[in-house]
């Protein structure tokens, strides 16, 4: 996992630090079960079918009081453009609405990541606006695009 998230192309499009610190992958994996048990988040590995190699991760941070979730994900660069993330987002959205009882899923992305915007739109997410200077990344404020999908949205 560390090698995949250490790719500067992946780090640039996510909130993952670059370089990815030693031991951070193990710490992340250790937190996943605790966050699930506490009802704070659900996290899944994204793997290839043929050899089960880890190529990414996807998570929903839960705000149960509002029946919403914040979707976050990353995918190793060699897997980009092959449908993995579309399949993962579709599956997680369905699980979130059906099994977690969510009404709304939100996703945020950087404007210079049109591929992620296309995937979200394929999965029924709609653009809702730009959050100007919302995140600090690479020593500068960056705008963020907000996308959302409601359980009632046609897919």
- pLDDT per residue, tens digit, the chain (155 aa), is 567 777 778 877 887 777 877 888 888 888 999 999 999 999 999 999 899 889 999 999 999 999 999 999 999 999 999 999 999 999 999 999 999 999 999 999 999 999 999 999 999 999 999 999 999 988 999 999 999 999 999 77
The pLDDT, as a whole number, for residue 2 is 65
Residue with tokens 């509002």: 66
The Cα angle at residue 69 between residues 136 and 29, in degrees rounded to 5: 70
The CA distance from 118 to 66, in Å, is: 27
The pLDDT, as a whole number, for residue 1 is 58
Peptide bond into 30 cis (omega under 30): no
The pLDDT, as a whole number, for residue 133 is 97
- What is the architecture, at CATH level 2, of domain 2-107? 3-Layer(aba) Sandwich (3.40)
The CA distance from 41 to 49, in Å, is: 24
Full DSSP string of 132-153: EEEEEETTEEEEEEEEEEETTS
The pLDDT, as a whole number, for residue 19 is 80
Question: Could you tell me the pTM of the whole model?
Answer: 0.91
Q: What is the CA radius of gyration of the chain?
A: 15
The pLDDT, as a whole number, for residue 149 is 98
The pLDDT, as a whole number, for residue 24 is 82
């Amino acid at each position: 996992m560390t090698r995949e998230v250490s790719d500067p192309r992946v780090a640039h499009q996510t909130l993952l630090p670059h370089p990815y610190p030693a031991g951070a992958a193990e710490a992340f994996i250790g937190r996943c079960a605790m966050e699930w048990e506490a009802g704070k988040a659900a996290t899944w590995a994204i793997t290839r079918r043929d050899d089960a190699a880890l190529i990414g991760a996807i998570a929903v941070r839960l705000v149960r009081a509002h029946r919403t979730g914040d979707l976050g994900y990353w995918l190793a660069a060699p897997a980009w453009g092959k449908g993995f993330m579309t399949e993962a987002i579709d599956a997680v959205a369905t699980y979130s609405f059906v099994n977690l009882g969510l009404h709304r899923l939100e996703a945020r992305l950087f404007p210079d990541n049109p591929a992620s915007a296309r995937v979200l739109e394929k999965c029924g997410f709609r653009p809702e606006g730009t959050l100007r200077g919302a995140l600090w990344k690479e020593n500068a404020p960056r705008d963020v695009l907000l996308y959302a999908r409601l359980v009632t949205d046609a897919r």
